Amino acid sequence: MLWSALSLSLGYNATLVTLGSSLLGAAAGMAGTFLYLSNKALISDAISHATLPGLGLAFLMARGFGWDERQLAILLTGSAASAALGLYFVTLLTQKTRLTQDTAIGCVLSVFFAFGVVLLTIIQTVPGGRKAGLESFLLGSTAGMLYSDALLILILSLFTTLLLLVFLRPIKLITFDASYGETLGFSSRRVEILVLFVALAVTVLGMKIVGLILIVALLIIPAVSARFWSEKVDVIFLISAGFGMISGYIGSTISAISPSLPTGPIIVLCSFGVFLTSFIFAPQRGILAVALNHHRFQKTVHLTQGLLLVAQGQSIYEPKTHRLLRRLGYVRADGVATEVGNSMAAKTLLNERRWSHWNKLVRDSDQFDDQTVFSLMDIEKKLTQDQINMIDQGLVQKQQGQV
């Protein structure tokens, strides 16, 4: 059953839901990347909670006009309008008052969500309201999703993904350097509105699959996870899209074979699994890599300090340093340096003096402001041969001047 779901063999409707969830995850990962990098992650929470009153009002208005009140397009339109209104109030409070953005978000989020809960309570008293299934928009549910609903989510998710890809360059420029981006003719305000519009669209589309409460997780977690793997924006952007797509794909397949389980929490848990994997195993920022680098650094410190003591003819009293030098064959059990150890000690002392002289030469340029760290590095791997020759000449002149 699981393999049939993963291989998209459960029928057209399940296939569309899986593809729609995957594209939704990709779009959420891409939009969330720039929300995260521009420190606007919290605003996605305000957008998601602001959709609830629009959902209730759209249902009541459709019922009043005699339309099909469960039509997904109608409900999503109402949710989008409500979310846009909430986003407008956040911007208005931030710009026109002394409230900070997080304070404005807190106000809008709580008021809109409370109004939405009141509307949902009223809907429960309307004939047929209990059968509307609006509560599924809170945590997400693909059970009972119509073919047209799945197709609508698929098409709109694809549209938001293409929209981000088309405007990727101006979005990157404005996110990191708005002034430079405006000199190239890009409006920072329009670009910010575009990013927020995509975030709003992803939030509204994700209501049926992930739910309005948890859609913020799909916007932020993939971006945070991707940040562990790279320093480059383009790479983070692509990885975040991939993580979001994987989360949506796996979560929707699990939901397809277990319709009694809520879809949104499953997708979020899959996204958290990706985050946990990144947090532990990422090659540069993962905790294993950090622990390994710290171990290597401590080993280098002990090795350097021990060799400097050998070069200066002093005894090594630190047991850990002595064990390390002995294991490498630099000293014997009695602490006397071997021939190889004396050679390495002389090289380490020269390396220390070279770095000390280099730091004095470039102190005003702030190129190297931590002598301790750079004295642990092999100078041949950091500087050119011409620079090393210049340092050596300076050391010779300094020694001759002292003599």
Residue 290 predicted with pLDDT over 70: yes
Is the pTM above the cut of 0.85? no
pLDDT exceeds cutoff 60 at 84: yes
Side-chain half-sphere CA neighbours of 181 within 13 A: 19
Per DSSP, the three-state class of 1 is coil
* Rg (alpha carbons) of the chain, rounded to whole number: 30
**Short-list 155, 161, 132, CA closest to 62:** 132
Q: For the segment 215-251, what is each residue's pLDDT rounded down to a tens digit?
A: 888 889 999 999 999 888 889 989 999 999 999 888 8
Q: What is the pLDDT of residue 402?
A: 62
Q: Assess contact for 304 and 375: CB atoms under 8 A.
A: yes
Q: Which residue has the higher pLDDT, 365 or 246?
A: 246
Least confident of 204-208, 292-296, 297-301, 335-339: 204-208
Predicted local confidence at residue 314, as pLDDT = 86
> How confident is the model at residue 62, as a pLDDT?
86
What does the pLDDT average to over 25-53?
Answer: 86
Structural domains in the chain, CATH included, are 2-281 (1.10.3470.10), 288-395 (no CATH)
Concatenated DSSP letters of 125-185: HSTTGGGS-TTHHHH---TT--HHHHHHHHHHHHHHHHHHHHTHHHHHHHHH-HHHHHHTT
Q: 148-153: long-range contacts (C-beta < 8 A, 24 or more apart)?
A: 148/72, 149/72, 149/208, 150/13, 150/16, 150/17, 150/20, 151/16, 151/20, 152/72, 152/73, 152/76, 153/16, 153/17, 153/20, 153/24, 153/72, 153/205, 153/208, 153/209
- Average per-residue pLDDT in the chain? 83
Would you place residue 355 in the very low, low, confident or very high pLDDT band (cuts 50, 70, 90)?
confident
Residue 95 has pLDDT above 50, yes or no: yes
Above 80 in pLDDT, residue 16? no
pLDDT for residue 367: 53
Q: Please report where in the chains the tokens 């383009």 appear, as a residue.
A: 234
The token pair that represents 332 in the structure block: 């014997």
d(CA 272, CA 252): 15
Find all residues with CB under 8 Å of 51, minimum gap 6, and list them. Answer: 79, 80, 82, 83, 86, 116, 203, 204, 207, 212
Lowest mean pLDDT among 24-28, 110-114, 373-377: 373-377
CA torsion sign, 389 to 348 to 327 to 299? negative
pLDDT tier, 334 (very low <50, low <70, confident <90, very high otherwise): confident
Residue 312: C-alpha distances to residues 305, 316, 349 (Å): 11, 11, 9
Evaluate if residue 136 carries a pLDDT over 90: no
Q: Which residues contact 31 (CB under 8 A, 6 or more apart)?
A: 160, 164, 195, 198, 199, 202, 219
**Which candidate, 270, 169, 282, 277, places its Cα nearest to that of 230?**
282
Given this model, what pLDDT does residue 4 score? 63
Question: Using 50, 70 and 90 to split pLDDT, how confident is the model at 357?
Answer: confident
pLDDT in tens, 369-392: 444 455 667 777 778 888 888 888
* Cα–Cα–Cα angle for 229, 232, 233, rounded to 5 degrees: 105
Q: Residue 174 — pLDDT band, cuts 50, 70, 90?
A: confident
Cβ burial, residue 385 (10 Å; 0-12/13-18/19+) = exposed
| Mean pLDDT value across residues 202-213 | 82
Residues of the chain above pLDDT 90, percent: 15
What's at 325, amino acid-wise? Answer: L
% of the chain exceeding 70 in pLDDT: 89
Question: Mean pLDDT over residues 159-173, rounded?
Answer: 85
Give the H or E element holding residue 116: helix 101-125
- 272: confidence class by pLDDT, cuts 50, 70, 90: very high
Residue 145: pLDDT over 70 = no
- What pLDDT is recorded for position 372? 47
Q: Which whole number is the average pLDDT over 289-294?
A: 92
Phi then psi for 53, rounded to 5 degrees?
Answer: -65, -35
Token reading at 158:
């694809």
Judge whether residue 343 has pLDDT over 70: yes
Residue range 293-327, pLDDT digits in tens = 999 889 988 888 898 888 888 888 888 988 999 99
HSE at residue 314, side-chain half, CA atoms within 13 A, is 9
